[in-house]
Structure 1
Protein backbone atom coordinates (compact mmCIF):
# COMPACT_ATOMS: atom_id res chain seq x y z
CA UNK A 1 0.00 0.00 0.00
CA UNK A 2 1.27 3.48 -0.81
CA UNK A 3 2.11 5.99 1.87
CA UNK A 4 -0.96 7.98 0.80
CA UNK A 5 -3.12 4.91 1.45
CA UNK A 6 -1.52 4.41 4.85
CA UNK A 7 -2.38 7.95 5.97
CA UNK A 8 -5.96 7.94 4.65
CA UNK A 9 -8.81 7.16 7.08
CA UNK A 10 -9.56 3.52 7.67
CA UNK A 11 -12.57 2.35 5.68
CA UNK A 12 -14.77 -0.46 7.04
CA UNK A 13 -17.66 -2.07 5.13
CA UNK A 14 -20.62 -3.58 6.97
CA UNK A 15 -22.99 -5.98 5.26
CA UNK A 16 -26.47 -6.01 6.77
CA UNK A 17 -27.08 -9.71 6.06
CA UNK A 18 -30.44 -11.48 5.93
CA UNK A 19 -33.13 -8.77 5.66
CA UNK A 20 -35.72 -10.82 7.55
CA UNK A 21 -33.31 -11.25 10.47
CA UNK A 22 -31.77 -8.91 13.02
CA UNK A 23 -28.84 -7.80 10.85
CA UNK A 24 -30.30 -4.47 9.65
CA UNK A 25 -31.37 -3.26 13.09
CA UNK A 26 -28.15 -4.46 14.74
CA UNK A 27 -26.19 -2.49 12.15
CA UNK A 28 -28.11 0.66 13.02
CA UNK A 29 -27.58 0.18 16.75
CA UNK A 30 -23.92 -0.81 16.49
CA UNK A 31 -23.02 2.10 14.22
CA UNK A 32 -24.55 4.59 16.61
CA UNK A 33 -21.86 3.55 19.08
CA UNK A 34 -19.06 2.88 16.58
CA UNK A 35 -19.39 6.33 15.00
CA UNK A 36 -18.72 7.93 18.39
CA UNK A 37 -15.96 5.51 19.31
CA UNK A 38 -14.12 5.73 15.98
CA UNK A 39 -14.70 9.25 14.62
CA UNK A 40 -11.75 8.99 12.21
CA UNK A 41 -12.97 5.75 10.61
CA UNK A 42 -15.16 5.75 7.50
CA UNK A 43 -17.98 3.19 7.69
CA UNK A 44 -19.88 2.04 4.60
CA UNK A 45 -23.15 0.22 5.20
CA UNK A 46 -24.26 -2.12 2.42
CA UNK A 47 -28.00 -2.75 2.36
CA UNK A 48 -31.45 -1.41 1.60
CA UNK A 49 -31.74 2.16 2.88
CA UNK A 50 -35.50 2.05 3.45
CA UNK A 51 -35.28 -1.26 5.32
CA UNK A 52 -32.69 0.11 7.73
CA UNK A 53 -34.73 3.27 8.32
CA UNK A 54 -37.78 1.10 9.03
CA UNK A 55 -35.90 -1.07 11.53
CA UNK A 56 -34.41 2.03 13.17
CA UNK A 57 -37.87 3.51 13.57
CA UNK A 58 -36.89 6.65 11.67
CA UNK A 59 -34.44 7.94 9.08
CA UNK A 60 -32.66 10.18 11.60
CA UNK A 61 -29.84 7.69 12.08
CA UNK A 62 -28.76 8.22 8.47
CA UNK A 63 -27.34 11.61 9.45
CA UNK A 64 -25.69 10.49 12.68
CA UNK A 65 -22.24 11.33 11.37
CA UNK A 66 -20.26 12.31 8.31
CA UNK A 67 -18.15 9.16 8.71
CA UNK A 68 -21.04 6.87 7.74
CA UNK A 69 -21.99 6.19 4.12
CA UNK A 70 -25.09 4.24 3.15
CA UNK A 71 -24.54 2.33 -0.10
CA UNK A 72 -28.06 1.48 -1.16
CA UNK A 73 -28.74 -2.01 -2.49
CA UNK A 74 -32.43 -2.51 -3.17
CA UNK A 75 -34.21 -5.59 -1.86
CA UNK A 76 -35.35 -8.00 -4.53
CA UNK A 77 -38.79 -8.16 -2.91
CA UNK A 78 -40.30 -6.45 0.16
CA UNK A 79 -39.49 -8.18 3.42
CA UNK A 80 -41.42 -8.94 6.60
CA UNK A 81 -39.35 -9.19 9.76
CA UNK A 82 -39.00 -12.82 10.80
CA UNK A 83 -40.24 -14.26 7.50
CA UNK A 84 -37.66 -15.68 5.09
CA UNK A 85 -38.06 -15.24 1.33
CA UNK A 86 -35.75 -17.03 -1.09
CA UNK A 87 -36.28 -14.20 -3.57
CA UNK A 88 -33.91 -12.10 -1.42
CA UNK A 89 -31.18 -14.75 -1.36
CA UNK A 90 -29.24 -13.21 -4.22
CA UNK A 91 -29.64 -9.75 -2.67
CA UNK A 92 -27.85 -11.01 0.45
CA UNK A 93 -25.10 -12.59 -1.62
CA UNK A 94 -24.73 -9.38 -3.63
CA UNK A 95 -23.99 -7.43 -0.45
CA UNK A 96 -21.25 -9.88 0.41
CA UNK A 97 -19.79 -9.80 -3.11
CA UNK A 98 -19.63 -6.00 -3.03
CA UNK A 99 -17.83 -6.05 0.32
CA UNK A 100 -15.35 -8.70 -0.79
CA UNK A 101 -14.58 -6.96 -4.08
CA UNK A 102 -14.11 -3.66 -2.27
CA UNK A 103 -11.73 -5.18 0.25
CA UNK A 104 -9.70 -6.98 -2.42
CA UNK A 105 -9.39 -3.76 -4.45
CA UNK A 106 -8.32 -1.74 -1.41
CA UNK A 107 -11.48 0.33 -1.20
CA UNK A 108 -12.18 -1.18 2.24
CA UNK A 109 -9.59 -1.97 4.90
CA UNK A 110 -11.88 -4.59 6.44
CA UNK A 111 -15.37 -6.01 6.20
CA UNK A 112 -17.80 -6.81 9.02
CA UNK A 113 -20.67 -9.15 8.23
CA UNK A 114 -24.05 -9.30 9.92
CA UNK A 115 -25.63 -12.77 10.03
CA UNK A 116 -27.17 -14.32 6.95
CA UNK A 117 -29.43 -17.34 6.47
CA UNK A 118 -27.68 -20.13 4.55
CA UNK A 119 -30.98 -21.78 3.65
CA UNK A 120 -32.30 -18.67 1.90
CA UNK A 121 -29.28 -18.49 -0.39
CA UNK A 122 -29.49 -22.21 -1.14
CA UNK A 123 -33.21 -21.90 -1.80
CA UNK A 124 -32.36 -19.12 -4.26
CA UNK A 125 -30.42 -21.69 -6.28
CA UNK A 126 -26.89 -20.84 -5.12
CA UNK A 127 -24.92 -23.61 -3.34
CA UNK A 128 -23.72 -21.98 -0.11
CA UNK A 129 -22.08 -23.56 2.94
CA UNK A 130 -21.28 -20.43 4.91
CA UNK A 131 -19.46 -17.11 5.03
CA UNK A 132 -16.07 -18.73 5.71
CA UNK A 133 -16.11 -21.09 2.76
CA UNK A 134 -17.56 -18.46 0.42
CA UNK A 135 -14.88 -15.92 1.35
CA UNK A 136 -12.19 -18.50 0.61
CA UNK A 137 -13.71 -19.30 -2.78
CA UNK A 138 -14.21 -15.67 -3.82
CA UNK A 139 -10.67 -14.65 -2.84
CA UNK A 140 -9.09 -17.80 -4.30
CA UNK A 141 -7.62 -18.72 -0.92
CA UNK A 142 -6.74 -22.43 -0.67
CA UNK A 143 -7.06 -22.60 3.12
CA UNK A 144 -8.74 -20.33 5.62
CA UNK A 145 -9.26 -20.75 9.35
CA UNK A 146 -12.43 -20.01 11.30
CA UNK A 147 -11.62 -18.47 14.67
CA UNK A 148 -14.17 -17.34 17.24
CA UNK A 149 -13.05 -14.98 19.94
CA UNK A 150 -14.25 -13.33 23.10
CA UNK A 151 -12.37 -10.06 23.14
CA UNK A 152 -12.13 -8.97 26.77
CA UNK A 153 -9.30 -8.25 29.17
CA UNK A 154 -8.27 -11.89 28.74
CA UNK A 155 -9.23 -12.78 25.16
CA UNK A 156 -10.36 -16.35 24.56
CA UNK A 157 -9.77 -17.43 20.96
CA UNK A 158 -10.78 -20.79 19.53
CA UNK A 159 -9.82 -21.77 15.97
CA UNK A 160 -10.99 -24.83 14.07
CA UNK A 161 -9.05 -27.45 12.12
CA UNK A 162 -12.29 -28.37 10.29
CA UNK A 163 -15.44 -26.26 9.93
CA UNK A 164 -18.89 -27.20 8.64
CA UNK A 165 -18.56 -30.97 8.27
CA UNK A 166 -20.71 -33.86 9.48
CA UNK A 167 -19.04 -35.41 12.50
CA UNK A 168 -18.55 -38.71 10.65
CA UNK A 169 -16.30 -36.93 8.11
CA UNK A 170 -14.00 -35.10 10.53
CA UNK A 171 -11.39 -37.83 11.04
CA UNK A 172 -10.79 -38.29 7.31
CA UNK A 173 -10.51 -34.51 6.87
CA UNK A 174 -7.64 -34.23 9.36
CA UNK A 175 -4.19 -34.50 7.78
CA UNK A 176 -0.68 -33.69 8.93
CA UNK A 177 -0.21 -31.07 6.21
CA UNK A 178 -3.62 -29.57 6.88
CA UNK A 179 -2.99 -29.09 10.59
CA UNK A 180 0.47 -27.65 9.94
CA UNK A 181 -0.98 -25.20 7.41
CA UNK A 182 -3.74 -24.24 9.83
CA UNK A 183 -1.26 -23.59 12.65
CA UNK A 184 0.93 -21.56 10.29
CA UNK A 185 -2.03 -19.35 9.33
CA UNK A 186 -3.04 -18.82 12.97
CA UNK A 187 0.53 -18.04 13.99
CA UNK A 188 1.05 -15.59 11.12
CA UNK A 189 -2.22 -13.72 11.54
CA UNK A 190 -2.01 -13.48 15.33
CA UNK A 191 1.30 -11.72 14.77
CA UNK A 192 0.28 -9.50 11.85
CA UNK A 193 -3.30 -8.66 12.82
CA UNK A 194 -3.26 -8.84 16.62
CA UNK A 195 0.28 -7.69 17.40
CA UNK A 196 1.27 -10.86 19.28
CA UNK A 197 5.01 -11.42 18.97
CA UNK A 198 5.11 -15.10 19.94
CA UNK A 199 1.65 -16.66 19.84
CA UNK A 200 1.05 -19.74 21.96
CA UNK A 201 -1.53 -22.07 20.39
CA UNK A 202 -2.84 -24.97 22.48
CA UNK A 203 -4.06 -27.92 20.39
CA UNK A 204 -6.77 -30.39 21.33
CA UNK A 205 -6.89 -34.05 20.46
CA UNK A 206 -9.78 -35.47 18.47
CA UNK A 207 -10.84 -38.39 20.64
CA UNK A 208 -11.94 -38.58 24.29
CA UNK A 209 -8.91 -38.27 26.58
CA UNK A 210 -6.83 -37.43 23.48
CA UNK A 211 -7.04 -41.06 22.39
CA UNK A 212 -5.77 -42.74 25.58
CA UNK A 213 -2.49 -43.74 23.86
CA UNK A 214 -4.41 -45.28 20.97
CA UNK A 215 -7.04 -47.18 22.93
CA UNK A 216 -9.71 -44.61 22.00
CA UNK A 217 -8.46 -43.79 18.51
CA UNK A 218 -5.16 -43.28 16.69
CA UNK A 219 -5.66 -39.82 15.17
CA UNK A 220 -3.55 -38.24 17.91
CA UNK A 221 -0.69 -40.68 17.24
CA UNK A 222 -0.87 -40.85 13.46
CA UNK A 223 -1.88 -37.28 12.52
CA UNK A 224 -2.04 -34.65 15.25
CA UNK A 225 1.24 -35.31 17.08
CA UNK A 226 3.32 -35.54 13.85
CA UNK A 227 1.73 -32.27 12.74
CA UNK A 228 2.65 -30.58 16.01
CA UNK A 229 6.24 -31.77 15.71
CA UNK A 230 6.46 -30.26 12.22
CA UNK A 231 4.87 -27.01 13.40
CA UNK A 232 7.31 -26.70 16.30
CA UNK A 233 10.19 -27.25 13.88
CA UNK A 234 8.87 -24.20 12.02
CA UNK A 235 9.08 -22.13 15.19
CA UNK A 236 5.38 -22.29 16.09
CA UNK A 237 4.59 -22.62 19.79
CA UNK A 238 1.90 -25.32 19.58
CA UNK A 239 1.82 -27.74 22.54
CA UNK A 240 -0.60 -30.68 22.66
CA UNK A 241 -2.61 -32.65 21.89
CA UNK A 242 -4.63 -32.03 25.05
CA UNK A 243 -7.89 -33.74 26.03
CA UNK A 244 -10.57 -31.23 25.06
CA UNK A 245 -12.63 -31.89 28.17
CA UNK A 246 -9.88 -30.60 30.48
CA UNK A 247 -8.10 -28.03 28.32
CA UNK A 248 -10.61 -25.19 28.76
CA UNK A 249 -9.71 -24.18 32.28
CA UNK A 250 -7.78 -21.15 33.58
CA UNK A 251 -4.56 -22.94 34.47
CA UNK A 252 -4.06 -23.87 30.81
CA UNK A 253 -5.65 -20.88 29.12
CA UNK A 254 -3.89 -18.19 31.17
CA UNK A 255 -0.76 -18.46 29.01
CA UNK A 256 -2.52 -19.25 25.73
CA UNK A 257 -3.31 -16.91 22.85
CA UNK A 258 -5.51 -19.41 20.99
CA UNK A 259 -6.86 -22.95 21.16
CA UNK A 260 -7.00 -25.04 17.99
CA UNK A 261 -9.93 -27.49 18.20
CA UNK A 262 -10.35 -30.34 15.75
CA UNK A 263 -14.02 -29.79 14.90
CA UNK A 264 -16.81 -27.25 15.17
CA UNK A 265 -18.71 -28.50 18.22
CA UNK A 266 -15.59 -29.44 20.17
CA UNK A 267 -14.41 -25.89 20.85
CA UNK A 268 -17.22 -23.52 20.00
CA UNK A 269 -19.74 -24.53 22.68
CA UNK A 270 -17.16 -23.60 25.33
CA UNK A 271 -16.34 -20.31 23.64
CA UNK A 272 -19.99 -19.36 23.18
CA UNK A 273 -20.90 -20.31 26.74
CA UNK A 274 -18.14 -18.05 28.02
CA UNK A 275 -18.61 -15.09 25.68
CA UNK A 276 -21.98 -15.28 23.88
CA UNK A 277 -23.26 -11.82 22.99
CA UNK A 278 -19.73 -10.41 23.08
CA UNK A 279 -17.94 -13.03 21.00
CA UNK A 280 -17.11 -12.68 17.33
CA UNK A 281 -16.16 -14.74 14.30
CA UNK A 282 -12.90 -13.96 12.48
CA UNK A 283 -11.71 -15.54 9.24
CA UNK A 284 -7.93 -16.01 9.23
CA UNK A 285 -5.79 -16.71 6.17
CA UNK A 286 -7.62 -14.39 3.79
CA UNK A 287 -5.93 -11.56 1.87
CA UNK A 288 -8.59 -9.32 3.45
CA UNK A 289 -9.82 -8.72 7.01
CA UNK A 290 -13.23 -10.09 7.90
CA UNK A 291 -15.01 -10.20 11.25
CA UNK A 292 -18.59 -11.12 12.10
CA UNK A 293 -21.01 -11.80 14.93
CA UNK A 294 -21.06 -15.10 16.81
CA UNK A 295 -24.81 -15.65 16.37
CA UNK A 296 -27.40 -16.24 13.71
CA UNK A 297 -30.26 -14.28 12.20
CA UNK A 298 -32.52 -14.54 15.29
CA UNK A 299 -35.70 -14.39 13.23
CA UNK A 300 -37.83 -14.39 16.37
CA UNK A 301 -36.24 -11.12 17.49
CA UNK A 302 -36.20 -9.33 14.15
CA UNK A 303 -38.16 -6.08 14.23
CA UNK A 304 -38.83 -6.25 17.98
CA UNK A 305 -36.05 -3.91 19.09
CA UNK A 306 -34.87 -6.51 21.60
CA UNK A 307 -31.82 -7.83 19.71
CA UNK A 308 -28.49 -7.13 21.43
CA UNK A 309 -25.90 -5.39 19.20
CA UNK A 310 -23.02 -6.30 21.55
CA UNK A 311 -21.41 -8.91 19.28
CA UNK A 312 -21.57 -6.63 16.22
CA UNK A 313 -20.04 -3.77 18.19
CA UNK A 314 -17.14 -6.01 19.21
CA UNK A 315 -16.79 -7.21 15.60
CA UNK A 316 -16.49 -3.60 14.42
CA UNK A 317 -14.00 -2.72 17.16
CA UNK A 318 -11.89 -5.77 16.30
CA UNK A 319 -11.96 -5.05 12.56
CA UNK A 320 -10.68 -1.54 13.25
CA UNK A 321 -7.91 -2.86 15.52
CA UNK A 322 -6.88 -5.54 13.01
CA UNK A 323 -6.80 -3.03 10.14
CA UNK A 324 -4.61 -0.73 12.23
CA UNK A 325 -2.19 -3.56 13.00
CA UNK A 326 -2.01 -4.45 9.29
CA UNK A 327 -1.25 -0.86 8.33
CA UNK A 328 1.44 -0.61 10.98
CA UNK A 329 3.12 -3.87 9.93
Structure 2
Protein backbone atom coordinates (compact mmCIF):
# COMPACT_ATOMS: atom_id res chain seq x y z
CA UNK A 1 0.00 0.00 0.00
CA UNK A 2 1.38 3.40 -0.97
CA UNK A 3 1.90 5.66 2.04
CA UNK A 4 2.76 9.27 2.83
CA UNK A 5 5.25 9.99 5.61
CA UNK A 6 4.44 12.90 7.94
CA UNK A 7 5.99 14.39 11.04
CA UNK A 8 3.74 14.77 14.07
CA UNK A 9 3.81 18.53 13.57
CA UNK A 10 2.62 18.04 9.99
CA UNK A 11 -0.24 15.85 11.22
CA UNK A 12 -1.25 18.51 13.73
CA UNK A 13 -0.99 21.32 11.16
CA UNK A 14 -3.02 19.34 8.64
CA UNK A 15 -5.80 18.75 11.18
CA UNK A 16 -5.93 22.44 12.13
CA UNK A 17 -5.96 23.47 8.47
CA UNK A 18 -8.79 21.09 7.58
CA UNK A 19 -10.94 22.15 10.53
CA UNK A 20 -10.41 25.92 10.36
CA UNK A 21 -10.92 25.97 6.57
CA UNK A 22 -14.32 24.41 7.21
CA UNK A 23 -15.34 27.13 9.64
CA UNK A 24 -14.20 25.84 13.02
CA UNK A 25 -12.81 28.27 15.59
CA UNK A 26 -9.07 28.09 16.19
CA UNK A 27 -9.40 27.16 19.89
CA UNK A 28 -11.59 24.16 19.04
CA UNK A 29 -9.44 23.17 16.06
CA UNK A 30 -6.26 23.18 18.15
CA UNK A 31 -7.85 21.10 20.91
CA UNK A 32 -9.12 18.53 18.39
CA UNK A 33 -5.83 18.48 16.46
CA UNK A 34 -4.03 17.44 19.66
CA UNK A 35 -6.09 14.27 20.11
CA UNK A 36 -6.07 13.43 16.39
CA UNK A 37 -2.29 13.77 16.34
CA UNK A 38 -2.05 11.66 19.50
CA UNK A 39 -4.18 8.95 17.90
CA UNK A 40 -2.04 8.88 14.75
CA UNK A 41 1.14 8.98 16.86
CA UNK A 42 0.06 5.96 18.92
CA UNK A 43 -1.00 4.06 15.78
CA UNK A 44 -4.66 4.14 16.82
CA UNK A 45 -5.53 4.54 13.16
CA UNK A 46 -9.29 4.61 13.67
CA UNK A 47 -8.81 7.69 15.89
CA UNK A 48 -6.16 9.50 13.86
CA UNK A 49 -6.55 11.71 10.80
CA UNK A 50 -9.27 9.41 9.49
CA UNK A 51 -11.56 11.08 12.05
CA UNK A 52 -11.27 14.38 10.19
CA UNK A 53 -13.71 12.99 7.61
CA UNK A 54 -16.59 12.77 10.06
CA UNK A 55 -15.50 15.97 11.82
CA UNK A 56 -15.91 17.89 8.57
CA UNK A 57 -19.21 16.18 7.79
CA UNK A 58 -20.43 17.19 11.25
CA UNK A 59 -19.38 20.80 10.59
CA UNK A 60 -20.98 20.95 7.16
CA UNK A 61 -24.16 18.91 7.65
CA UNK A 62 -24.74 18.34 11.36
CA UNK A 63 -25.73 20.40 14.35
CA UNK A 64 -22.17 20.94 15.55
CA UNK A 65 -21.31 24.43 16.79
CA UNK A 66 -17.75 25.06 15.61
CA UNK A 67 -17.53 28.26 17.63
CA UNK A 68 -19.14 26.97 20.82
CA UNK A 69 -18.28 28.62 24.12
CA UNK A 70 -18.16 25.92 26.83
CA UNK A 71 -19.57 27.00 30.19
CA UNK A 72 -17.88 25.70 33.35
CA UNK A 73 -20.21 25.29 36.34
CA UNK A 74 -18.91 24.60 39.85
CA UNK A 75 -21.61 22.21 41.06
CA UNK A 76 -20.31 21.06 44.45
CA UNK A 77 -17.05 20.39 46.33
CA UNK A 78 -16.73 17.13 44.36
CA UNK A 79 -18.41 17.90 41.05
CA UNK A 80 -17.93 20.20 38.08
CA UNK A 81 -20.08 20.43 34.98
CA UNK A 82 -19.14 21.85 31.59
CA UNK A 83 -21.83 22.59 29.04
CA UNK A 84 -20.09 22.16 25.69
CA UNK A 85 -22.71 24.26 23.88
CA UNK A 86 -22.99 21.60 21.14
CA UNK A 87 -19.31 21.81 20.27
CA UNK A 88 -16.78 19.00 20.35
CA UNK A 89 -15.83 17.72 23.80
CA UNK A 90 -12.09 18.44 23.63
CA UNK A 91 -12.18 22.14 24.49
CA UNK A 92 -14.80 21.54 27.19
CA UNK A 93 -12.53 18.92 28.76
CA UNK A 94 -9.51 21.23 28.66
CA UNK A 95 -11.52 23.93 30.43
CA UNK A 96 -12.94 21.59 33.07
CA UNK A 97 -9.73 19.66 33.78
CA UNK A 98 -8.06 22.13 36.18
CA UNK A 99 -11.24 22.36 38.28
CA UNK A 100 -11.63 18.57 38.35
CA UNK A 101 -8.00 18.07 39.40
CA UNK A 102 -8.22 20.61 42.21
CA UNK A 103 -11.44 19.10 43.56
CA UNK A 104 -10.04 15.55 43.46
CA UNK A 105 -6.85 16.64 45.26
CA UNK A 106 -8.92 18.28 47.99
CA UNK A 107 -11.83 15.87 48.43
CA UNK A 108 -10.22 12.62 47.25
CA UNK A 109 -12.71 11.90 44.47
CA UNK A 110 -14.40 14.25 42.01
CA UNK A 111 -16.51 14.05 38.87
CA UNK A 112 -16.57 16.07 35.66
CA UNK A 113 -19.80 15.90 33.66
CA UNK A 114 -19.62 17.24 30.11
CA UNK A 115 -23.06 17.91 28.59
CA UNK A 116 -24.25 18.68 25.07
CA UNK A 117 -20.99 17.62 23.46
CA UNK A 118 -20.07 15.91 20.20
CA UNK A 119 -17.52 13.17 20.89
CA UNK A 120 -15.43 11.24 18.36
CA UNK A 121 -12.10 10.52 20.02
CA UNK A 122 -10.65 7.78 22.17
CA UNK A 123 -10.91 8.32 25.93
CA UNK A 124 -7.28 7.63 26.83
CA UNK A 125 -6.21 11.24 26.13
CA UNK A 126 -8.53 12.35 28.94
CA UNK A 127 -7.48 9.76 31.52
CA UNK A 128 -3.78 10.12 30.63
CA UNK A 129 -4.03 13.88 31.18
CA UNK A 130 -5.46 13.24 34.65
CA UNK A 131 -2.84 10.59 35.46
CA UNK A 132 -0.16 13.14 34.57
CA UNK A 133 -1.47 15.12 37.56
CA UNK A 134 -0.84 12.15 39.88
CA UNK A 135 -4.49 11.08 39.97
CA UNK A 136 -6.27 7.91 38.90
CA UNK A 137 -9.08 8.40 36.39
CA UNK A 138 -12.13 6.72 34.90
CA UNK A 139 -14.03 7.94 31.82
CA UNK A 140 -17.13 6.75 29.97
CA UNK A 141 -19.35 7.95 27.15
CA UNK A 142 -22.17 6.58 24.97
CA UNK A 143 -22.35 7.21 21.20
CA UNK A 144 -24.96 6.43 18.51
CA UNK A 145 -27.07 3.26 18.79
CA UNK A 146 -24.97 0.98 16.60
CA UNK A 147 -24.63 -2.08 18.88
CA UNK A 148 -27.11 -4.86 19.58
CA UNK A 149 -27.56 -6.20 23.13
CA UNK A 150 -26.56 -9.81 23.81
CA UNK A 151 -29.27 -12.07 22.40
CA UNK A 152 -30.61 -9.35 20.10
CA UNK A 153 -29.96 -8.17 16.55
CA UNK A 154 -31.18 -4.56 16.60
CA UNK A 155 -28.98 -1.60 17.63
CA UNK A 156 -29.56 -0.19 21.12
CA UNK A 157 -26.18 0.67 22.63
CA UNK A 158 -23.34 2.80 21.41
CA UNK A 159 -19.79 1.50 21.25
CA UNK A 160 -19.72 2.83 24.84
CA UNK A 161 -16.02 2.92 25.71
CA UNK A 162 -14.56 2.75 29.21
CA UNK A 163 -11.09 4.12 29.98
CA UNK A 164 -9.00 3.98 33.15
CA UNK A 165 -5.58 5.33 34.10
CA UNK A 166 -3.38 4.75 37.15
CA UNK A 167 -0.41 7.10 37.74
CA UNK A 168 3.04 5.57 38.26
CA UNK A 169 6.12 7.25 39.70
CA UNK A 170 8.86 7.41 37.06
CA UNK A 171 6.94 5.28 34.56
CA UNK A 172 4.19 5.60 32.01
CA UNK A 173 0.73 5.20 33.56
CA UNK A 174 -1.26 1.99 33.54
CA UNK A 175 -3.98 2.74 30.99
CA UNK A 176 -6.73 0.85 29.27
CA UNK A 177 -9.37 2.14 26.89
CA UNK A 178 -11.75 -0.19 25.12
CA UNK A 179 -15.18 -0.15 23.57
CA UNK A 180 -17.80 -2.43 25.05
CA UNK A 181 -18.55 -3.36 21.44
CA UNK A 182 -16.39 -6.09 19.91
CA UNK A 183 -14.45 -3.43 18.02
CA UNK A 184 -14.53 0.33 17.46
CA UNK A 185 -16.85 1.38 14.65
CA UNK A 186 -14.01 3.26 12.98
CA UNK A 187 -12.13 -0.03 12.56
CA UNK A 188 -15.04 -1.47 10.57
CA UNK A 189 -15.08 1.63 8.38
CA UNK A 190 -11.32 1.32 7.81
CA UNK A 191 -11.83 -2.31 6.73
CA UNK A 192 -14.52 -1.13 4.30
CA UNK A 193 -12.23 1.53 2.86
CA UNK A 194 -9.43 -1.03 2.44
CA UNK A 195 -11.72 -3.64 0.86
CA UNK A 196 -11.00 -6.13 3.67
CA UNK A 197 -13.39 -8.51 5.42
CA UNK A 198 -14.01 -8.18 9.14
CA UNK A 199 -13.73 -11.12 11.56
CA UNK A 200 -16.81 -13.12 12.47
CA UNK A 201 -18.24 -11.92 15.77
CA UNK A 202 -17.90 -8.21 15.14
CA UNK A 203 -21.33 -7.60 13.65
CA UNK A 204 -24.52 -8.88 12.05
CA UNK A 205 -26.18 -7.66 8.86
CA UNK A 206 -29.55 -5.90 8.61
CA UNK A 207 -31.32 -9.29 8.70
CA UNK A 208 -29.53 -10.27 11.90
CA UNK A 209 -27.17 -12.77 10.28
CA UNK A 210 -23.44 -12.94 11.14
CA UNK A 211 -21.39 -11.11 8.52
CA UNK A 212 -17.77 -10.56 7.53
CA UNK A 213 -18.75 -7.81 5.05
CA UNK A 214 -17.93 -4.41 6.60
CA UNK A 215 -20.53 -2.57 4.48
CA UNK A 216 -23.22 -5.01 5.61
CA UNK A 217 -22.03 -4.63 9.20
CA UNK A 218 -22.40 -0.86 9.02
CA UNK A 219 -25.97 -1.30 7.79
CA UNK A 220 -26.76 -3.92 10.44
CA UNK A 221 -25.63 -3.97 14.07
CA UNK A 222 -22.32 -4.32 15.84
CA UNK A 223 -21.97 -6.84 18.67
CA UNK A 224 -20.73 -6.43 22.23
CA UNK A 225 -17.54 -8.11 23.39
CA UNK A 226 -17.91 -11.01 25.82
CA UNK A 227 -21.59 -11.63 25.12
CA UNK A 228 -23.83 -10.77 28.09
CA UNK A 229 -20.91 -9.33 30.10
CA UNK A 230 -20.08 -6.70 27.50
CA UNK A 231 -23.79 -6.05 27.05
CA UNK A 232 -24.24 -5.34 30.77
CA UNK A 233 -21.24 -2.99 30.79
CA UNK A 234 -22.63 -1.20 27.74
CA UNK A 235 -25.93 -0.65 29.58
CA UNK A 236 -24.03 0.67 32.61
CA UNK A 237 -22.21 3.22 30.43
CA UNK A 238 -25.53 4.30 28.91
CA UNK A 239 -26.94 4.98 32.38
CA UNK A 240 -24.08 6.69 34.21
CA UNK A 241 -22.79 8.70 31.24
CA UNK A 242 -26.32 9.50 30.06
CA UNK A 243 -29.33 9.80 32.40
CA UNK A 244 -27.14 10.13 35.53
CA UNK A 245 -25.67 13.39 34.19
CA UNK A 246 -28.90 14.49 32.47
CA UNK A 247 -27.79 13.67 28.96
CA UNK A 248 -28.71 11.49 25.99
CA UNK A 249 -28.53 7.74 25.62
CA UNK A 250 -27.17 6.33 22.36
CA UNK A 251 -30.75 5.80 21.13
CA UNK A 252 -31.56 9.46 21.74
CA UNK A 253 -28.26 10.57 20.19
CA UNK A 254 -29.17 8.65 17.04
CA UNK A 255 -32.55 10.40 16.93
CA UNK A 256 -30.89 13.78 17.44
CA UNK A 257 -28.68 13.12 14.41
CA UNK A 258 -31.76 12.86 12.15
CA UNK A 259 -29.97 10.64 9.66
CA UNK A 260 -27.12 13.05 8.89
CA UNK A 261 -24.38 10.64 9.98
CA UNK A 262 -22.53 13.25 12.04
CA UNK A 263 -20.43 12.68 15.14
CA UNK A 264 -22.61 11.45 18.05
CA UNK A 265 -23.91 14.12 20.42
CA UNK A 266 -24.38 13.19 24.09
CA UNK A 267 -22.52 13.55 27.39
CA UNK A 268 -19.33 12.29 29.00
CA UNK A 269 -18.55 11.39 32.61
CA UNK A 270 -15.00 11.56 33.96
CA UNK A 271 -14.09 10.67 37.56
CA UNK A 272 -10.74 11.47 39.19
CA UNK A 273 -9.36 9.78 42.32
CA UNK A 274 -6.58 11.00 44.61
CA UNK A 275 -4.84 7.93 46.12
CA UNK A 276 -3.07 9.81 48.97
CA UNK A 277 -6.39 11.16 50.27
CA UNK A 278 -8.32 7.92 49.88
CA UNK A 279 -5.54 5.68 51.22
CA UNK A 280 -4.35 8.07 53.93
CA UNK A 281 -1.50 6.62 55.98
CA UNK A 282 -1.60 3.51 53.77
CA UNK A 283 -0.79 5.44 50.57
CA UNK A 284 2.88 4.38 50.43
CA UNK A 285 1.98 0.73 50.92
CA UNK A 286 -0.79 1.05 48.33
CA UNK A 287 1.65 2.38 45.76
CA UNK A 288 3.98 -0.52 46.48
CA UNK A 289 1.16 -3.05 46.11
CA UNK A 290 0.26 -1.53 42.73
CA UNK A 291 3.83 -1.83 41.45
CA UNK A 292 4.05 -5.42 42.70
CA UNK A 293 0.87 -6.14 40.74
CA UNK A 294 2.36 -4.71 37.55
CA UNK A 295 5.60 -6.63 38.12
CA UNK A 296 3.65 -9.85 38.55
CA UNK A 297 1.99 -9.26 35.18
CA UNK A 298 5.05 -8.38 33.11
CA UNK A 299 7.30 -10.74 35.05
CA UNK A 300 5.63 -13.74 33.45
CA UNK A 301 5.87 -12.39 29.92
CA UNK A 302 2.44 -10.73 29.76
CA UNK A 303 2.10 -7.09 28.75
CA UNK A 304 0.30 -4.21 30.34
CA UNK A 305 -2.58 -2.60 28.43
CA UNK A 306 -1.49 0.26 26.14
CA UNK A 307 2.11 -1.02 25.99
CA UNK A 308 1.84 -1.48 22.22
CA UNK A 309 0.49 2.05 22.00
CA UNK A 310 3.36 3.42 24.09
CA UNK A 311 5.87 1.55 21.91
CA UNK A 312 4.24 3.06 18.82
CA UNK A 313 4.42 6.49 20.46
CA UNK A 314 8.18 6.19 20.89
CA UNK A 315 8.60 5.15 17.24
CA UNK A 316 6.43 7.96 15.93
CA UNK A 317 8.12 10.62 18.03
CA UNK A 318 11.46 9.69 16.50
CA UNK A 319 10.44 8.73 12.95
CA UNK A 320 7.10 10.34 12.22
CA UNK A 321 4.09 8.41 10.92
CA UNK A 322 2.99 6.83 7.67
CA UNK A 323 -0.53 7.38 6.37
CA UNK A 324 -2.17 5.48 3.48
CA UNK A 325 -1.88 7.70 0.41
CA UNK A 326 -5.55 7.33 -0.51
CA UNK A 327 -6.60 8.44 2.98
CA UNK A 328 -4.16 11.36 2.91
CA UNK A 329 -5.57 12.51 -0.43
CA UNK A 330 -9.13 12.23 0.92
CA UNK A 331 -8.15 14.43 3.86
CA UNK A 332 -6.48 17.02 1.63
CA UNK A 333 -9.66 17.18 -0.46
CA UNK A 334 -11.51 18.38 2.65
CA UNK A 335 -9.53 21.63 2.77
CA UNK A 336 -11.51 24.65 1.61
CA UNK A 337 -9.68 27.64 0.19
TM-score tier, shorter chain, comes to under 0.3
TM-score, normalized by length of structure 2?
Answer: 0.26
Q: Which has the higher strand share?
A: 2
TM-score, normalized by length of structure 1?
Answer: 0.26
